[in-house]
Chains A and B, each alone.
Chain A
Amino acid sequence: MPNINDILIMLPELYLVVAACLLLLLDAFMKPEQRHWLHWLSVGALLMAIYLVVAGQPAQPVVAFGGMFVRDGVSEILKAFALLSTALVFVYAKPYLIDRKLFVGEFYTLMIFAVIGVMLLVSAGSLVTVYLGLELLTLSSYALVALNRDSQLSSEAAIKYFVLGALASGMLLYGMSMVYGATATLDLANLHTAAAHTGAPKLLLFGLIFMIVGIGFKLGAAPFHMWIPDVYQGSPTAVTIFIGSAPKLAAFGMAYRLLESGLGDLSHHWQQMLAVLAVLSLAIGNLVAIVQTNLKRLLAYSTISHMGYLLLGLVNAGPEGYASALFYAISYALMSTAAFGVILALARAGFECEEIDDLKGLNQRSPWMAFLMMLVMFSLAGVPPMFGFFAKLLVLQAAIHAGMMWLAIVGAVFAIIGLYYYLRVVKVMYFDKPVEGSELKMQADPSVRVVLSLNAISLLVLGLSWGPLLGWCKSVFPG
């Protein structure tokens, strides 16, 4: 029987479930013109959840519900940033949703449920919780992608996402069943001991491979990346921005839970597999991004390459490597929300601002937005002193430390190749003349302006002082 202690440990999640239900009810009784209250209440609910997460952070890892749910440093930091990036998404999305007549309560409720999925997933103490959290996240995401029901592109993206996502979930579940068959336990902590005892029987390795496929799919690592470009492009930008942020943190959490908490003793097996995924992601992501003309698709391929870098950190399979991968995931979530935030801020009714050429001459029309986007692009490209550079530095260091110098060199080479397409965006904004009659203007909404500016500037500030965040990331992975 769950006792009060279990409930207290899970308080942030439970609170958010209640909040989401209340928001859903509230929405039903609200007049459409009152809906901006719903917006701010949702943002407030997320901020409150961040407070509950951070304030209730336990000094030692604690488990609830018989080991199903773990609350430790890793889960707390991931939750805090997942909630934060979702709050950013809400702020950036509002004008976009209003312009497209998509400003509905479902958007908020679905997204909050997706975040609850993220929180469950990163706190998973058993294979069952991993799967539950993952499904809550993905099912909500499928619906969000299809939010714009009248758009053919959106529907196509949703179907693709659903079919491929279901396939990946199936693979993951199949892998889990094999692992269960080999060790007779679903609990990750017990799994760890069992795997250490049994060594590496074929059945366990067989299960591991399928789980890697599932993780690869959720991360969007090549060759399981096929869904990313279509979903990024097809979804309404207000949803793409979400898919590019919190779920990436969740995917890192899932990889950490399954591979380290569960199968850490098999690391010399999965290190090799992850190295292959990393190289493929770096190559496909960076090379294909070069030829893109659609900004959202470009960012989709850039995501794939960034997941390759994140994998460089995981390949290390030590506390230092996990810390660097976590740092990378956080930096990516912040960069990605800022990048899509700029697109959202420039889009308006009838103008999606999703082609690279749509940004032509942005510096003439709105120098501040161009400056913010430039910060984001240089950060994504990994040019110092931006945040993204230090994230890359740490994962390269993790790879070299793991004795994979070749992998670090591959990472370095693809950083150069990747640089080209980020520079191209800066080029279009700064060096090209604006198209006559284009409506390139900044959204007037002051909350978007302020928050987006803070988000993009934070990439520079965190680049100049990334010590505390790195310290936090390192502290949650005790050696």
Chain B
Amino acid sequence: MFNHLLSLLIWLPIVGAIPVLLAGSGRPNVARWTALLVAVLTFVFSLYLLSQYNAADSAKQLTESHMWIASLGVHYSLAVDGISIALILLTTFVGILVIVGAWEVIQNNPHQYMAAMLVLEGLMIGVFCATDALLFYVFFEAMLIPMFILIGIWGGPRRVYATIKFFIYTFLGSIFMLVGLIYLYLKAGTFDLQALAALPLSMKEQSWLFFAFLAAFAVKVPMVPVHTWLPDAHVEAPTGGSVVLAAVMLKIGGYGFLRFSLPIVPDASEAYAWVVIGLSLIAVLYIGYVALVQEDMKKLVAYSSVAHMGFVTLGIFIAFMLVRGAGNMDAAKLGMQGAMVQMISHGFVSGAMFSCIGVLYDRLHSRQIKDYGGVINVMPWFGFFYVFFAMANSGLPGTSGFVGEFQVVLASFQANPWIALFAAFTLIIGAAYTLWMVKRVMWGDIANPHVAEMKDINGREVFVLGAFAAAVLVLGVWPQPLIHLMDSSVTQLVQQLGNHKI
């Protein structure tokens, strides 16, 4: 069984969704407990995966490869490196919390909700494991189906608009990547990512492919100006949907850049790095200001996600300027590492923020900031978590939000102090929009009589928020294990950046 650990991790939640679905709407508790069992098992296996992984070795590990389509030479091939493992752990961790978080909240067909979540989890793990481009694409796209259902059935009033926009937007981006992948396949005769990375390509080909990949991953991250689906999807999605979307799905965009753009089209990535860096800075600065004026809490956090993900793309592409411009490998590594830490950290922080908003929404059925005020008076425990996560979101040292941003700013400074200056603005703007929201929601007098009736968080909610808080704190105070886990993979990736293909 453990020879196929990665397959097990992918298929356990997907197959586990079947009994959950079969429990039917008549036995919601059977569905809930089964789903929780499957999610916990998946998490346990992912911990086992961590223990099996040798972080000192930069090669891909736990490889599995079977012929999938013999007449095309397509393989079902899986393998992981440190980066994948970190993201898989994030996925399985969040997988448990969204199921617990939805426990009593989802009353309409809970079995379908839980099943969709489990399928989504399995597919996301698949994305992080796939080393065959076609297999990656299949997981990457298949993910949309459960998410579409999640937003569409259990979402808010404008859910249909939001979910169709989400689906079509993402599909639009990725289909051009598919055309690019077919082109690569016809050239290389394989979809294997390692072979594609070794394939020589002219600058013209690389440029086209770069933009095809950019279309797919920029939508997913999302980067300005293709981020507009995100606020809609987040606002309308049920809490669990928002959490998964922000915590894991957005990371897949950043992950895609690492696995596709950097190794397959390095020269074009270098040539157009300024595009990505420019867009990232716009995301950090402009979207920060957009977040400032939001009146809907979820929208505010959604925009802040766009701004934070700007750091991820900045960190990835600043590495090009450092490696190829100045030959500064250490700084490049720092930037790349920062991007990775930021991905994981943002996974926890944004997931926690959306869970907090979910807690408020379950009580008052409103996400408008103006409907709240003085919540701390009636919900002190909740207030503790909320303020803590808000601090993490604005990048307070000691929380995980600080580590990645600091590393990326530090690396950018060595490339160009101006870039670092603009990127560092996020610390001010991020603090501004987050803390202002805290001020209006938490502090002050109770203006709305309904707020006075709100009950503090129950044990289940404490569990969800507490787990997130522990992760944020541990990562903020002691990021070393995470950095160590990804270290050899990041080093290898940075070395690859130097390889010219022309």
Contacts and interface: CB of A to CB of B under 8 A. Distances in A.
A complexed with B: yes
Interface of A: 363, 367, 378, 383-385, 389, 393, 396-397, 400-401, 405, 408-409, 412-413, 415-416, 419-420, 423-424, 426-427, 430-431, 465-467, 470-471, 474
Given A400-B182, A423-B168, A383 B145 contact: yes
B183 interface: yes
Contacts of A471: 70-71
Interface in B193-222: none
B72 A470 contact: yes
Contacts of A416: 168, 171-172, 175
Given A423-B148, A431-B159, A470-B71, A385 B186 contact: no
Given A384-B137, A400-B186, A431-B159, A467 B70 contact: yes
Contacts of B145: 378, 383
B144 interface: yes
A14 to B, nearest CB: 34
Given A400-B186, A419-B167, A426-B148, 17 more contacts: A383-B141, A384-B142, A385-B142, A397-B186, A400-B183, A401-B186, A405-B179, A408-B182, A415-B175, A416-B172, A420-B164, A430-B149, A431-B160, A465-B68, A466-B69, A467-B67, A467-B71
Contacts of B171: 383, 415-416, 419
Contacts of B160: 427, 431
A427 B153 CA distance: 9
B385 interface: no
Question: When A and B form their complex, which 3 residue pairs have the shortest distance between CB atoms, in order from nearest?
Answer: A384-B138, A467-B69, A431-B152
Nearest to A396: B182
Given A384-B137, A467-B69, A467-B70, A397 B182 contact: yes
A419 B72 contact: no
Given A419-B168, A431-B160, A467-B68, A383 B142 contact: yes
Contacts of A389: 138, 141
A415 B109 CA distance: 32
Contacts of B53: none
A171 to B, nearest CB: 35
A470 B72 CA distance: 9
B15 interface: no
A150 B138 CA distance: 48
Nearest to B24: A367
Chief secondary structure at chain B's binding surface: helix
Contacts of B148: 423, 426
B144 A383 contact: yes
A430 B175 contact: no
B214 to A, nearest CB: 16
A393 B144 CA distance: 18
B272 interface: no
A367 B112 CA distance: 10
Nearest to A378: B145
19 contacts: A383-B171, A384-B141, A385-B138, A393-B134, A393-B178, A396-B182, A397-B182, A400-B182, A405-B179, A408-B179, A408-B182, A412-B175, A412-B176, A412-B178, A416-B168, A419-B168, A427-B152, A427-B164, A431-B153
A424 to B, nearest CB: 8
B71 A405 contact: no
A137 B172 CA distance: 40
Nearest to B72: A470
Contacts, number: 87
A207 to B, nearest CB: 34
A34 to B, nearest CB: 39
A205 B178 CA distance: 36
Contacts of A383: 141-142, 144-145, 171
A419 B170 CA distance: 11
Nearest to B175: A412
Interface in B464-486: none
Nearest to A416: B172
Contacts of B164: 420, 423-424, 427
A437 to B, nearest CB: 21
B103 interface: no
B167 A393 contact: no
A409 B179 contact: yes
A440 to B, nearest CB: 17
B190 to A, nearest CB: 13
Nearest to B25: A367
Contact of A393 (B159, B172, B176, B182): B182
A446 to B, nearest CB: 19
A402 to B, nearest CB: 10
Contacts of A384: 137-138, 141-142
Contacts of B163: 427, 431
Interface in B328-370: none
Contacts of B183: 400, 405
A267 B383 CA distance: 73
Contacts of B33: none
A385 B141 CA distance: 8
A395 B69 CA distance: 16
B289 interface: no
Contacts of B109: 363
B185 interface: yes
B43 to A, nearest CB: 24
Contact of A396 (B138, B144, B179): B179
Contacts of B186: 397, 400-401
Contacts of A413: 175
A120 B343 CA distance: 61
Given A400-B179, A416-B175, A430 B142 contact: no
Contacts of A396: 178-179, 182
A82 B133 CA distance: 34
A396 B183 CA distance: 10
A406 to B, nearest CB: 11
A397 B137 CA distance: 15
A367 B21 CA distance: 10
Contacts of B72: 467, 470
A470 B167 CA distance: 29
A441 B138 CA distance: 33
Interface centre among B70, B149, B171 (most CB of A within 10 A): B171
Contacts of B168: 416, 419-420, 423
B138 to A, nearest CB: 4
A396 B212 CA distance: 15
A426 B164 CA distance: 10
Given A412-B175, A423-B148, A397 B138 contact: no
Nearest to A413: B175
Interface string B58-81: 000000000111111000000000
A474 B69 CA distance: 12
A426 B144 CA distance: 13
Contacts of A385: 138, 142
A383 B139 CA distance: 10
Contacts of B172: 416
Contacts of A412: 175-176, 178-179
A397 B167 contact: no
